Every structure is written in C-alpha cells, then in structure tokens.
C-alpha cells in the first residue's frame, strides 16, 4: 500500500512539475508550434513539395548564415547591447575571402587549392575578430553606446565593401573553398555525427544537473529533462534521415551544429556564459559581485566578430562571389531570429537553441513564400507582422512570469 501511495505521489509530482515547466517556457513551446504550423501550411499549399528532402536540404543551408550571426547575437542582446554591423561585417568578410581567393592565395598557390582555402579562412576569421575587438573596445572601455558604435560600423563596412570590390563582382568558386558551403557530408559520416550530437545532448543534460546539484540548486524531475532531450534527439534523427535520402548533411549545417553545441555549452556551463546572463539580469548586482562588465562585453563582441567571420566565409562559399550587396539585411534577420527564439529585448533572457529555431522560422517563411510566388513586398509585410507579434509575446510573457 505504501509503494502504491508513493507511486501516486511521484506521478502527481511529475505532472505538477511538467505543468510548471510548460507554463514557465510557454513562449518557447509556442514558437515550436508556430514552426510546425508554418511547415504544415506550406506543405499543403505546395502539395508536399515544401517538405521534400531536396527542399529541406536547401532550407537548412539557407538559414546557416543567419544562424551563425544569431548564435553570437544572443549573448550581445542578453547583456543589454545590440550589434547592427554583423550583416555588413559578414558581407565584408565574404568580399575579403573572395578577394584573397581570386587575387592572392589562389594566384600564388595555384597547385595547392586546399592550402589556399585554409589560409583564406584563417585570414577571414581574423578580420572578423579584429573588427569585433575594435567595436568591443569602444563600447566596453570608452563607454560609447553599442547602438551608435555598431551603426557607425555598418556604414564603415558598407564603404569598405565598395572599396575592396571597386564596384565589381569577385569570384569565390575555387576548389575546396566552394565545398565549405556547397559540399555534403557522406551518408555514413552523417549518421556518425548524428549519434555524436544526440550523445552530446544527453551528456550536456546530465552535466547540467550535476552542476546544479553541486551548487545546491533545486533540480526538476529528471523525466522532464529526459523528455526534452528525447524530443530533440528525434528531431535530429528525422532531419538526418531526410537529408541523407537526398545527398547528405550539408557542410555548413554540420559546421553550424558544431558551433551551436559549443555555444550551448559555453552559455550554460561556463563562467563566461553565466556572467553574461548575470550582467543582463542585473548589471549593478553583477558589478558588485566582482564581475568585470567591461571585460565581459569586450569578449562578447570579439566572439560576435568571430562568428560574423564564420558567417562571411560560408556566405562567400555559398554564393560563389563577393558582391557590393554582400551581407545586406542579415543583421536584421539575426536580431529577429533571436527575438523569435525568446531572447528578451530587455536583456538577461535568451537561449542559443531558441535563436536557432528563430533562424529556421525566418528561413522557412522566406522559402515558403518564394515557392508560392508571393511578391517580395508582401514577404516583408508578413515578416514584419511575425516579428512584432514575437516582441509583444516577449513583453507579455515576461510581465506575467
């Protein structure tokens, strides 16, 4: 009888905790339902073509640049800052990469395309990181508002793009370099990476629980954590099965998955990540507790510059050219992806996972509307409505939490 009563109590406790988790994370689950709803609508309106393996493959490839930028933008917004230059920084890096490939490395190393591509990537990442460091220094140590600094950075980069390209298109379709965003992972390796990703999810969940227990935090029911991880694992399995029936996992998506896993770990399990949320949650309390706010903000903008460099390399490889319009509008898509994914405009709240979902929603809307031949003007209108609704939801849920 005692065992039966204990079982009933456990079930009641599980249901109670599950309901509480759903209530506290209702915004996240609403976004997931919105994504499923968008896919369902486009599936029926395109008579199934929308969810065909080839289109899913292209969809995830198209979201990769925005997602790279959004991964860094989460921490920028979480600390109460903004970066309006990331789109043009990615565009400038793409132009630099194309220029190096076409006019420097590939010219002097014509018989070593792999080395040429590697050197181009390294130089491009350094350019992105350096620009992020310059902006971060001005924002964090010279105390100039991030809005002003990054807006000026956007204008500066627009001019630099025009100077480097001289108004012309620069080819970036050399061997090896073009494979960065246009290539595919062999099917066997795709399944191996799938298993590794799922193993990481379980490991990260158990490690997070261990850290919370170590520091005396209250743990929620383990079955709730397992339920969330199993759901994510099923999504990964379905995705890998789908794209493997076409050509395999796209190289930029694999690179994005690795980046996302690293950023998730950093944001949840390191001092760097926790300090970022502490600064956004209560800047004065963070300062009084000994956190170097200036140093943290500087590092976050360097990281943002690095991820913009990654996005720029992928952009140049995917498009195959460095153009005068490179990177236009990506900063707005990255910010929108973060907000759609639950990152609060008031700071202190946001997740990398949510930003990835937000980037996928934006790409899903764009792809679906294009497949339905919706006029570009109405595409912007619909995106604007979705973004405003997301901000209203953010304010509502934070007020009623």
What is the pTM for the complete model shown?
A: 0.88
Binned at pLDDT 50, 70 and 90, residue 25 comes out as: low
What would the pLDDT profile of 147-189 be if each residue is shown by its tens digit?
Answer: 999 999 999 999 999 999 988 889 888 888 999 999 999 999 9
Extract the tokens encoding 73. Answer: 């933008």
Cβ within 8 Å of residue 346, ≥6 positions away: 398
Binned at pLDDT 50, 70 and 90, residue 112 comes out as: confident
pLDDT given for residue 395 in this prediction = 66
pLDDT given for residue 226 in this prediction = 80
Render 255-286 in DSSP notation, one character per residue: HHHHHHHHHHHHHHHSHHHHHHHHHHH-HHHH
Rounded Cα–Cα distance for residues 82 and 120 (Å) = 28
What would the pLDDT profile of 79-89 be if each residue is shown by its tens digit?
Answer: 999 999 999 99
Binned at pLDDT 50, 70 and 90, residue 29 comes out as: low
- The 8-class DSSP code of residue 50 comes to G
The values of phi and psi at residue 155, to 5°, are -65, -40
Instruction: Indicate whether 12 pLDDT > 60.
Output: no
Instruction: Indicate whether 217 pLDDT > 80.
Output: no
Rounded Cα–Cα distance for residues 56 and 40 (Å) = 13
User: How large is the average pLDDT for residues 200-218?
Assistant: 79
Instruction: Indicate whether 399 pLDDT > 70.
Output: no
What would the pLDDT profile of 242-278 be if each residue is shown by its tens digit?
Answer: 999 988 999 999 999 999 989 988 998 889 999 999 9
Checking phi first, is residue 166 left (phi over 0); if not, alpha (psi -120 to 50) or beta?
left
């Amino acid at each position: 009888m005692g065992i039966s009563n204990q079982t009933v109590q456990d079930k009641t406790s599980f249901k109670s905790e599950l309901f509480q988790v759903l209530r506290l994370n209702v915004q996240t689950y609403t976004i997931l339902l919105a994504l499923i709803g968008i896919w369902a609508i486009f599936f029926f309106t395109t008579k199934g073509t929308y969810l065909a393996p080839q289109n899913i493959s292209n969809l995830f490839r198209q979201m990769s640049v925005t997602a790279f930028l959004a991964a860094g933008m989460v921490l920028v917004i979480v600390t109460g800052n903004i970066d309006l230059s990331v789109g043009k920084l990615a565009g400038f890096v793409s132009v630099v990469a194309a220029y190096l490939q076409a006019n420097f490395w590939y010219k002097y190393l014509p018989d070593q395309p792999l080395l040429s591509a590697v050197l181009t990537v390294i130089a491009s990442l350094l350019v992105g990181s350096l620009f992020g460091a310059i902006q971060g220094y001005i924002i964090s140590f010279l105390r100039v508002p991030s809005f002003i600094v990054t807006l000026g950075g956007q204008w500066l980069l627009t001019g630099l793009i025009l100077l480097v390209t001289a108004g012309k298109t620069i080819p970036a379709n050399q061997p090896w370099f073009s494979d960065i965003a246009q290539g595919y992972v062999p099917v066997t390796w795709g399944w191996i990476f799938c298993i590794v990703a799922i193993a990481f999810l379980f490991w990260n969940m158990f490690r997070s629980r261990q850290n919370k227990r170590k520091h005396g935090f209250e743990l929620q029911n383990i079955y709730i954590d397992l339920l969330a991880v199993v759901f994510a694992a099923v999504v990964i399995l379905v995705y890998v099965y789908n794209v493997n029936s076409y050509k395999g996992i796209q190289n930029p998506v694999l690179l994005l998955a690795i980046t996302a896993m690293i950023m998730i770990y950093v944001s949840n399990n390191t001092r760097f990540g926790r300090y970022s949320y502490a600064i956004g949650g209560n800047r004065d309390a963070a300062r009084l507790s000994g956190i170097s706010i200036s140093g943290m903000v500087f590092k976050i903008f360097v990281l943002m510059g690095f991820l913009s460099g990654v996005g720029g390399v992928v952009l140049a490889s995917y498009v195959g050219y460095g153009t005068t319009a490179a990177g236009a509008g990506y900063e707005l898509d990255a910010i929108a992806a973060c907000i759609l994914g639950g990152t609060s405009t008031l700071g202190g709240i946001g997740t990398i996972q949510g930003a990835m979902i937000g980037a996928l929603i934006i790409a899903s809307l764009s792809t679906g509307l294009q497949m339905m031949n919706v006029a570009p003007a109405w595409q912007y209108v619909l995106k604007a409505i979705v973004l405003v609704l997301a901000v209203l939801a953010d304010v509502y849920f934070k007020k009623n939490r």
